[in-house]
Every structure is written in structure tokens, then in C-alpha cells.
Structure 1
Amino acid sequence: MKSVLILGGGFAGLEAAIFLRKAAYDVTLVSDRNYLYVYPTSIWIPTREIDFSDACIDLDKLKDIHGFNLIIDSVEKIDVKSGSYTLKSKKILSNFSHVILAMGSSKIKHDGLENTLSICGAPEQSLLIRDKIDALIKKGSGKIYFGFGNNPNDTSAVRGGPTFELLFNVHNMLKKKGIRDNFELTFFAPMPDPGKKMGPKALKTLNIFLKKLNIKQHIGKNIKRFEEDGIIFEDDSKLESDFTIFTPAGDGHDLVRNSDLPTNEAGFITIDDFCQVRLQDSNESSNIYAIGDIAALDGAPWRAKQGHVAEVMARNVAFNIMQKDNNKDEFKGYREHINILCVMDTGDGASLIYRDDSKDFIIPLPVVGHWLKKGWGIYYKLSKLNKIPRIPKM
């Protein structure tokens, strides 16, 4: 039986494991935590709309259901030449027929980042955000800043959607409590037109929405550092903040930077259309694949690393591995599937946003949009646990 090692237990890694097990491969999944964290639904943890456990799926349960091997450990070293992967426990994994890298990305390291919290950071940060907001509500007022950063070396690594969603959900929660006027909510970002990659229609709607909700904007200035009580910008101006929520842009994984894997300027692993890593000084195809946030995506400047793209990459890799092992060459590529697709939740509704090479649109979904996204979260968990059928390509 052919064996596959998957490093990373997020959206991409789990999806690859499920589809390779369906094809009867011997799959070993390595994850640095014992649960899969459903980041798209975590926006409701700080507003107490869901519990932390609602955004988690136990990997032990998934292992038993789908039949893959599971190792809870973190990867410490990658040695491509020797084909060995060293874990923190010092266990060395080697001799696999195929290896899939799906460990996500690191973050741009801003000065003073410890003075902020991120909804896209370590899962536990969602609880810290919740507690900090609770404290400000108890105090009765406050200035809360919500922002995200940029990676000039790879614009696909910017993740702004969850920041907007959390901002809108906090606004909605404060409004429900009747205390919204006591709080100053501000959105900030270093780029002059944050949200532009969603398309001109979505950007125009977003700016109108921010004004309607009385959310201030501070955009177009690079961030110099974060302090405990505010943000310092490139011109040394300072914004006073009682609490700063900030999502740094993704950056090349620290582990990859210290390996012999090929990378782009930002440190993401370079791959071909079939997610296969083309090793340096070699014209031959390798048995190593990279999927999800760890990989460098090709495509239009507006391309973005999203969960649905990561899962497409995972399914394609599973298919391509089967093709390769059966001496076939009808591989599936990921580039044709690059698009932006999100249901941007506001707490009392949502908007469906879509963009590809030929079109972009935004469809407001008052009230029902919020429950559609909630329904997707339930569907995602139950379908992964095989409790309900999966919708094709979802």
C-alpha cells in the first residue's frame, strides 16, 4: 500500500487525508494541536454567539471515522534531500511514497505585535479578544481598533475578511446592548484602498457600510509599531486605543525558510499548477506537494488564500497522486479555481462576495445571510464527521 505523510491538520491537510483514505492510501497526518479549528466561524466567539468548542472538531474522532494515522506533534525540521521530517519529540518520519506540506504560514512580525490580538491568530486568541471586549463593556466605554496588514512581497497573503466580520459583529453586539454610542470603533490598514481585491463593487459597498455604521477609518499609512495604548504610524502620529485587534499578513513559514525547499520572495513554497514542488537543481518531478497557505499562489494580483481554495488544492493533489501512481498524466490544476468567494457576516445579516477573472459582484443578504453562514458552519462540522452527506465540491 502506498503511504502519504501530511504535515498540517487544517482545512487543506484534513481534506487531503480524507480523499486519500477514500483511495485506500496509508495516510499519516501530523498536527500541532488535537483539533481542527474552523476559523470562519470563530468570529462569533468574541461576541459570545458560540462557544470555543463550537469552532473545533476533534482530530481523534476524525481519525477514527476516516481511518488515517494521527500524530499530535509539531514539525521541527524539514530535510528534503534526505526525505526526513523531524518532529519536536525528536521522532523522525521518512520513507513515505508522497509528502504533502500543509502547515499554513507564519505572520509578518510587526514591532510591538504582542500588544495586539488577532482573530486569525492562535485559536486561544479568540477567547482573549472576548475577555478584553467583556472588560470594556463592563467599563462602559472604549476605543477599539480593528485592522489588518499587508505583505508587499505577496499580496495573496493578506487576510482582511475576518477582521471586517469581527468589526461588524462587535458593532452589532454593542448596538443590541444599547451601548454602541459609548464606543469608538475604527478600522485601520496601511494600504490606501483595503478591500480592493474583493472587486470595485464590493469595495464601494464596504465604504458605504462603514460610514453608515459610524465606523471611522484610518488608512494609507504604514504601521511603525504597536504600543499598549495605541498605534504609531510611519509619520510618528499616534492613535490612542484601549484595545487593538490586528491581523498581520501571512509570511513564509519559519520552518520552510530554514529548509532546502524552493520559495518565492515572501518565503512561500513555489509549486506548479498541480501543487507539486519543483525541487531546486532538478528537472524531475518530486513526490512533495504544498497546499493551502504554505504555498505560493500564481494568478491575478487580487488572488487570495482562502479555505475553499485550500480544499480544492487538497482534492486535486489526492487525485494527482492517484494518477501518478497509476502511470497516468491527466492531472488537475488549481489555477483555474482561483477566485474570491466569501459570505461576509455582519451579525445581523451578510453579503455574498465573489470575484474571478471575468466578473465581480456583491449580493446583500439581510438577516438570512447570517443564518446561512451559521448553517455552513454546522454543515462543515457534520459533513467532516460523516454525519450528513457532503455536497459535491464543498
Structure 2
Amino acid sequence: MKKITIIGAGFAGLTAVRQLRKLEQDVEITLIAPRPELQYLPSLIWVPSGLRKREDIIIPLANFFKRMDVNFVPASVTGLKDQGRTVETDQGSVTNEGLIIASGGRFIKKLPGIEHAITPCEGIDAAEKIRDRLAAMQGGTIAMGFAGNPNEPSAMRGGPMFEFLFGTDTLLRQQGRREQFKITFFSPAPKPGIRLGENAVKGLMDEMAKRDISTHLGHKMLGFEANKVKTEGGEFAADLILFMPGMTGNLWFDNSELPRSAGGLVKANQHCKVEGLPAVYVAGDSGSYPGPDWMPKQAHMADLQAECAAKNLIAELTGKTAEATFKIELMCIVDSCDKGLFVSRTENKNTVLPANKAMHWAKRGFEWWYLRQYR
């Protein structure tokens, strides 16, 4: 029986489990992650408004692992050796005949004073902190923004920041408190969200203007203070700062033979194969893949890459040609707690649908549909 190890219990890791089991029942699957749970990050945007709570976001995986016959190892990975055949963890070593790396990315926290900013996509703790800070504020300035990894154009997560931005505005209006707050959106990019396409950027900027959200764009970030955002284009006061930095690879990558991109991610080809290592694949935010500079770091893309990685790993282990590729597709609903802007992009088409209530409910419906397979 072939032994396959998966690192990570996020979107890519769990999709890899499902795809492996779909293709081959007679393989031993071991999954390594700190906890047997999935944090459904797309729904963090609804925590500040109370639409979602901790128990809605964190999905226990014990039943899923039992159904899929997965050996779960509760541990944190510390390194990789023997050309990927040995995964080192803080609980000992795990050997394999095939490996899928799906351990996500790491936010770059090098800006001076970044401890004064909340990074929303770090998980439920951050979302609850935003909820509590907003509830305690009587007024003031709220600053929200994001940046990227200059050496890895795709290694950013800007979409959720637009959602927190518009969602916060909606919440304050519903509470009758919006006039007591100034909201400022900032980014070093002159056209934030350009990976969504020109029409989407125009729609987002128009929405900000309509909601009386000011902008501070196109200036390199210098850092933060407890109540201030500092850029090369000036600084401005902020009583609450939400900031999504660019992403890079996990720290444990440094203790491995993994080839790295300029931005610090695992270098892979169009088949999700890690260059130079036999039977080692990567999926999701951990990897750097060939493709257009708008290729997103999002759950949908991670799922597509995980399916590709699983197909090719099984092919390689059974002596077949590992030739599967993944579709490059950006698809998202930029939600504002009561309506949503739909955006999709492929190499041939870019579609943007005006924000409407149906898209908000479609996003909530997709959440239910997606999570039912893990509950």
C-alpha cells in the first residue's frame, strides 16, 4: 500500500484528500496539521456583524478523517529531508512515498509597528478582535488596506479587505453610527484589486466614493504607530487599523531542500510538481506556479491545484505520465454583508456583475454547500 502524506488541513489539503480517495482507495493517507479542524476563512468577513460566530467558522474534521480513512497527526512541521520522503515535525518524523504540501502561506510582518494592525485573514481570533474593537468604539477613524510581496505578484490577498471595508460601512450604517466614523482605504498600489480586472477596480472605487470612504493610494508603506498609518506619501491618524500584508513561504521551508521562488514560495511547474523532487507536489498558497500575474491566492484556486496535484501524484506512483494541469481561474463574490459584487476572470474572459442582494445570498449558500462535505 502506497503511503502518501499531506501537510495542511486547509482548502488545498482537504481537497487533496478527497481527490486521492476518489482516484485510489488502496493508499494510506496521513495528514499533518496542528489541529483537526478547518477554519473557513471566507466567512470571517461576517464575524464583526454577528452573521457568523466562532462555531460557524471552525469545522471539526474528526468525522471527515474517519470517513476518508485518514491518519491524522497533530503536529507542526519543522522541516523536510530525504528529497521529501521524511517530514520532520515537533512530534517526530513521518515518512512517505508521496507528498503534497498544502500548508498555506505566511504573512510578511516586517513593517515597523505592524503589531498595531490586525491582520483579518489570520483567523477567527483576529475577526473576533475586530468585532470587539468596533463594538467598543464610539467614533473615530478606521483604516483598512493591503499590500503585496514585491517578488511574488500573486502572493497577496486583497479581496477580503474590500469585504471588511464595505462590510464595516454597512454595519455602522445599520447601527446608525456611520456619521461618527471616518473610513480610509489605503494601499501602495495605485489601482488596488487590479488582478480582478479594470472593470472591477472601477466598480470598487465607485463603491468607495458612494459610501464616503476616502482613499490613500499609490504610496509605499513605511509602518504604523498605535494610532497612525505612515507612508511615503504622508501619514494619517487611525484609531483602528486593519492591514493585510503580502505573503511568503512557511518558516519550515528554510529547513528543507525545497526549491524557492524569488518571493519565498515553493517553486512548481504547471502540473503542481515541485521541481527536482520525486513524488513531491504543492497546492494552494504554499506554491509559486507559472501563469498570469493575476492568478489569485484564494480557496477556489487552491482546490483546483489540489485536484491537479493529487491526480499527478497517483499517476507518478503508479508509473503513469503525470500530465494533469489546473485551470487558472479567479472567481469571487466581494460581499458587503447585504449584497455582493461578482467577479470572474480566466485567460480569455473577465466578468463583473453589479453588486446585488442575490450575490450575498449566493455566497452564503455556497458556504453551506461547500462545508457539508466536511461536517
- Give TM class, smaller chain: over 0.9
Superposition deviation, residue 80 in structure 1:
4.1
Match of 1:13 in 2: 13
Match of 1:127 in 2: 128
The one of 293, 297, 310 aligned to 2:302: 310
CA separation in 1, counterparts of 2:207 and 2:371? 31
CA separation in 1, counterparts of 2:150 and 2:252? 21
The one of 195, 198, 202 aligned to 1:197: 195
The DSSP-based 3-state class of the residue aligned with 2:31 is: strand
The DSSP-based 3-state class of the residue aligned with 2:267 is: coil
Q: Contact conserved, 1:8 with 1:30, CA < 8 A, in 2?
A: yes
Q: Contact conserved, 2:269 with 2:289, CA < 8 A, in 1?
A: no
Superposition deviation, residue 134 in structure 1:
1.1
CA separation in 2, counterparts of 1:190 and 1:223? 6
Q: Contact conserved, 1:355 with 1:361, CA < 8 A, in 2?
A: yes
The one of 146, 150, 153 aligned to 1:152: 150
Alignment of 1:62-81 (within 5 A): 62-81=64-83
Match of 1:389 in 2: none
Structure 2, unaligned runs of 5 or more: none
**One-letter amino acid matched to 1:296:** S
Tell me whether 1:261 sits opposite 2:287 in the alignment. Answer: no
State the TM-score, normalizing by the size of structure 2.
Answer: 0.96
Q: Contact conserved, 1:187 with 1:218, CA < 8 A, in 2?
A: yes
CA separation in 1, counterparts of 2:301 and 2:267? 16
Match of 2:342 in 1: 352
Which moved further from structure 2: 53-62 or 260-269? 53-62
Structure 1, unaligned runs of 5 or more: 280-284, 386-394
Q: Contact conserved, 1:303 with 1:339, CA < 8 A, in 2?
A: yes
The DSSP-based 3-state class of the residue aligned with 2:291 is: coil
Alignment of 1:110-125 (within 5 A): 110-125=111-126
Q: Contact conserved, 2:84 with 2:280, CA < 8 A, in 1?
A: no
* 1:210-258 deviation per Cα after TM superposition (whole angstroms, max 9, x unaligned): 10011110111111111111111125x3211100001111112221133
The DSSP-based 3-state class of the residue aligned with 2:289 is: coil
CA separation in 2, counterparts of 1:170 and 1:11? 26
Superposition deviation, residue 330 in structure 1:
5.7
* 1:355-377 deviation per Cα after TM superposition (whole angstroms, max 9, x unaligned): 12222121124111111111111
The DSSP-based 3-state class of the residue aligned with 2:262 is: coil
The one of 38, 43, 50 aligned to 1:36: 38
Identity level (%)? 31
CA separation in 2, counterparts of 1:132 and 1:278? 45
**One-letter amino acid matched to 2:303:** E
CA separation in 2, counterparts of 1:122 and 1:41? 10
CA separation in 1, counterparts of 2:162 and 2:82? 39
Superposition deviation, residue 287 in structure 1:
1.1
* 1:233-287 deviation per Cα after TM superposition (whole angstroms, max 9, x unaligned): 125x3211100001111112221133221011011111111111112xxxxx611
State the TM-score, normalizing by the size of structure 1.
Answer: 0.91
Match of 1:292 in 2: 284
Q: Contact conserved, 2:15 with 2:303, CA < 8 A, in 1?
A: yes
Distance 1:82 1:374, change over 3 A: closer
The DSSP-based 3-state class of the residue aligned with 1:347 is: coil
Superposition deviation, residue 82 in structure 1:
7.1
CA separation in 2, counterparts of 1:256 and 1:5? 16
Alignment length, in residue pairs? 372
The DSSP-based 3-state class of the residue aligned with 1:232 is: strand
Match of 1:374 in 2: 364
* 1:312-346 deviation per Cα after TM superposition (whole angstroms, max 9, x unaligned): 11111222222223322162112xx1121101111
CA separation in 2, counterparts of 1:351 and 1:192? 21
Match of 2:271 in 1: 274
CA separation in 1, counterparts of 2:236 and 2:370? 39
**One-letter amino acid matched to 1:258:** N
* 1:25-65 deviation per Cα after TM superposition (whole angstroms, max 9, x unaligned): 21001112331011111110122111111012102122122
The one of 327, 339, 364 aligned to 2:329: 339
Alignment of 1:153-192 (within 5 A): 153-192=151-190
Match of 1:241 in 2: 238
The DSSP-based 3-state class of the residue aligned with 2:252 is: helix
CA separation in 2, counterparts of 1:10 and 1:176? 33
CA separation in 2, counterparts of 1:127 and 1:289? 34
The DSSP-based 3-state class of the residue aligned with 2:121 is: coil
> How big is the alpha-carbon RMSD for the aligned residues of Structure 1 and Structure 2?
1.4
The DSSP-based 3-state class of the residue aligned with 1:384 is: coil
The one of 60, 63, 86 aligned to 1:84: 86
Match of 1:390 in 2: none
Match of 1:324 in 2: 316
CA separation in 2, counterparts of 1:59 and 1:228? 38
* 1:183-222 deviation per Cα after TM superposition (whole angstroms, max 9, x unaligned): 1111100111111111111111111111001111011111
**One-letter amino acid matched to 1:355:** R
Q: Contact conserved, 2:281 with 2:313, CA < 8 A, in 1?
A: no
